[in-house]
Amino acid sequence: MKIITYNVNGIRSAVSKGLANYIQSEQADIYCLQETKAQPEQIDTTLFEVAGYNSYFHSAEKKGYSGVALLCKTKPNHVEIGCGNPLYDREGRVIRADYDNMSVISVYMPSGSSSEERQAFKMGWLAFFNEYITELKSQIPNLIVCGDYNICHRAIDIHDPKGNANSSGFLPEERDWMEQYFNSGWTDSFRHLNPQPHAYTWWSFRANARNNNKGWRIDYCAVSDGLKNKIKQSWIDPSARHSDHCPTGVLLG
């Protein structure tokens, strides 16, 4: 199964830049999208249907903000909208597709860069998500959690670790959370097969960051450890330029 996660930074904008062609060319079994920034009625799903995908959306109550989606070649047995917590569900942060032998989540974790209040919100989310995903994994052992985590795990995952030591997304408490997460029954599929540096999934629009590859790796395909031995390939595709992020994917055999 081929799974690709992609923060599209506005699905309508990404479509105008050729997202549908990318989706059709890659032919992933499941696409996990984040930051769709649209209500379902604003999205032309026929573009995805033509490419052979069933599409499911969880939009934020606030228009033009947040939102997650799943595009699935095979129709899931069940699609769970949200995580059951109204505080986060109103921001459209979690959607899950259940199959016979596994489930796939598209998640958009909060950013804390805009204010101290949002950083506090982010830390509250991380505490909640840890409990939520631990309980869910006890019910669904074969679980894949793909999306924009808005955290660089280690120094190798950011172009300037010293300069960003006090930046949201690379704070010690956020990195500690990621360390605990990946030590509690989850595998970072990209790092599992790719130890090399300078592999990023997001670049600021400022200072020609993308062309200079001054980026952050904040998008992940995390697989529960029961699926670890099934990871055949994992990759980042910076050639896809529909967003300030790029896709990252995993192939399970």
- The Cα–Cα gap between 153 and 171 comes to 10
Q: pLDDT tens digits, residue range 112-156?
A: 999 999 999 999 999 999 999 999 999 999 999 999 999 999 999
**Averaged pLDDT, 17-33:** 97
Query: What's 97's domain CATH number?
Result: 3.60.10.10
The residue among 232, 211, 205 whose CA lies nearest residue 221 is 232
Q: How many domains does the chain divide into?
A: 1
Q: pLDDT tens digits, residue range 174-189?
A: 999 999 999 999 999 9
Query: What is the value of pTM for the model shown?
Result: 0.97
The residue among 91, 135, 136 whose CA lies nearest residue 109 is 91
Phi–psi pair at 123, nearest 5 degrees: -65, -35
What is the structure's pLDDT at 209?
Answer: 97
Angle in degrees, CA 27, 29, 35, rounded to 5: 90
Domain that holds residue 93: 2-252
Contact 32, 147 (CB under 8 A): yes
What is the structure's pLDDT at 136?
Answer: 98
Q: pLDDT tens digits, residue range 175-234?
A: 999 999 999 999 999 999 999 999 999 999 999 999 999 999 999 999 999 999 999 999
Q: pLDDT tens digits, residue range 37-74?
A: 999 899 999 999 999 999 999 999 999 999 999 999 99
Q: How confident is the model at residue 241 (pLDDT cuts 50, 70, 90)?
A: very high
What is the structure's pLDDT at 184?
Answer: 96
Q: Which residues are catalytic?
A: 148
